[in-house]
Amino acid sequence: DTAVSQTPKYLVTQMENDKSIKCEQNLGHDTMYWYKQDSKKFLKIMFSYNNKELIINETVPNRFSPKSPDKAHLNLHINSLELGDSAVYFCASSRQGFETQYFGPGTRLLVL
């Protein structure tokens, strides 16, 4: 059983398109996250949701919007994609906000 899953694994799209990445966890965790890993492998947190409430919103452009339909899902919607959005996006979850985070397999986004 996959603990944290993401779809799609790969996403190639044109600039200015709108796309979504889905994340699901079957661990019963309360908190979910989105991270961005750039081409230099630097990993930075974007968002965190606890019981469907946004906790962290780092300095991320408002073209990025997390959506959590329920505790087990946290989707990432990106409007008007730009070249600089190309990266690997990781979803993660933890039982409580300060406990160990478990990561999904990542989604490689390439904006052309």
Partner 1 sequence: AQTVTQSQPEMSVQEAETVTLSCTYDTSESDYYLFWYKQPPSRQMILVIRQEAYKQQNATENRFSVNFQKAAKSFSLKISDSQLGDAAMYFCAYQPYNNNDMRFGAGTRLTVKP
Contacting residues toward partner 1, per CB under 8 A: 31, 33, 40-45, 48, 50, 55-56, 88, 90, 92, 94, 97-98, 100-103, 105-106, 108
Contact 49, 24 (CB under 8 A): no
User: How far is Cα 30 from Cα 41, in angstroms, rounded to an integer?
Assistant: 27
DSSP-assigned letter for residue 19: E
Shortest gap between Cβ of 84 and partner 1 (angstroms)? 19
Shortest gap between Cβ of 38 and partner 1 (angstroms)? 11
Residue 69, both tokens: 């339909």
Shortest gap between Cβ of 97 and partner 1 (angstroms)? 4
Shortest gap between Cβ of 10 and partner 1 (angstroms)? 11
Choice between 14 and 40, CB closer to partner 1: 40
Contact 33, 73 (CB under 8 A): no
Choice between 12 and 43, CB closer to partner 1: 43
Residue 96, both tokens: 């409580």
Strands 107-111 and 10-13 come out as parallel
Contact 35, 41 (CB under 8 A): no
Choice between 12 and 15, CB closer to partner 1: 12
Choice between 44 and 67, CB closer to partner 1: 44
